[in-house]
Structure 1
Amino acid sequence: MAKSLLIISRQAPWSGPSAREALDIALAGGAFDLPLGMLFLDDGVFQLAPNQQPALLQQKNLAANLQALPMFGVEDLFVAASSLAERGLDPDGLGLPVQVLDDAGLTALIDRFDQVVTL
C-alpha cells in the first residue's frame, strides 16, 4: 500500500516557484493514485484567492492547476483558519472548496499522513 503524503504549501502564488512546485507534486501524485492531501498555510492561502491577475506580474496563472486538483483525485484540500483570518480572506469566497481547520485540526491532519512535504 502506498504511503500517504501531505503537501503543505506556504508560499504566495507569485513569490517564487514554490507554489507551482507544490501543485505539480500534487498533480503528479494524484495521477499515480497516491493517497495525498494538500494544506494551504501562511501566505499559501493567497493561492486560493479568486480573481487573481498574474499577467500584471508577467506570471502564469495557477488557477487552472488548482482547478485540476479534483480531476486528478486530489480532493483532500485544507486551509488553516488562522492563516485566512490573519490575511483577511473569507473562507466562503475562496476559489476551491476546502476544509477550514483550527490549530487542533491542523495537528490531527499532519499526524494522519505518513509523509509531509513543505514548500
Structure 2
Amino acid sequence: MNATQKQIFTFISRTAPYGSNRPQLCLDTALAAAVFEQQVNYLFMEDGVYQLLKNQDAEAIHTKTIGRILETLNLYGIESIYVCKESLESRGLLLGDLVIESKLTNANELKTLLNSSDTVINL
C-alpha cells in the first residue's frame, strides 16, 4: 500500500451498549484507524442502534456512557456515521432519538457501502 493511499474501513456495531465489550472494542478500533488517517465508516445496526440513544446513564453499572464517547467521533475525523433504517424502525426509534447525526441507510445502500469498503470489521 502506498503511504498516501487511504484504506476504507467500515465498522459495524451490532450489539447493545452494555453487557459486552464489543461496542467499546468496535469504537476503539475505529478510533485507531482514524488516528492513522484512514477513511472510517461507522455503521450501527441491530441492537447496536441502542448505543446511539440520547440520555443514557451508565453510572449505575460503573461504566462510561458510550453515547457521550460517540459524540466525539467527529473530533477524530469520523464523519461517515450510518444507522440501519430497518433496525431503527423495528425498535420503534427515530433519528431524533439519537445522540449524534447519522445517515439513515436501507439494505441496498448498506450493500453498496460494504462493497465499497476495503476492510469490514463486524462486531
> Shorter-chain TM-score: which interval?
over 0.9
Cross-structure match for 1:46: 50
Cross-structure match for 2:87: 83
Larger radius of gyration: 2
- Distance across 2 between alignment mates of 1:68 and 1:28: 14
Q: Does 2:26 align with 1:19?
A: no
Q: Normalization by structure 2: what TM-score?
A: 0.92
After superposition, give the CA deviation of every residue in 1:4-39 in whole Å (9 maximum; x if it has no partner). 110000011002000011111111111111111100
Matched letter for residue 80 of structure 2: D
Count of aligned pairs: 119
Deviation at 1:54, TM superposition (A): 0.9
- Distance across 2 between alignment mates of 1:110 and 1:65: 24
Cross-structure match for 1:117: 121
Of the three residues 69, 72, 90, the one matched with 1:68 is 72
Deviation at 1:2, TM superposition (A): 2.9
Matched letter for residue 120 of structure 2: V
Cross-structure match for 1:96: 100
Q: Normalization by structure 1: what TM-score?
A: 0.94
Aligned CA RMSD, in angstroms, stands at 1.0
Matched position secondary structure for 1:6 = strand
Matched letter for residue 70 of structure 2: L
Deviation at 1:57, TM superposition (A): 2.4
Of the three residues 3, 6, 18, the one matched with 2:10 is 6
Which sections of structure 1, spanning at least 5 residues, go unmatched? Answer: none
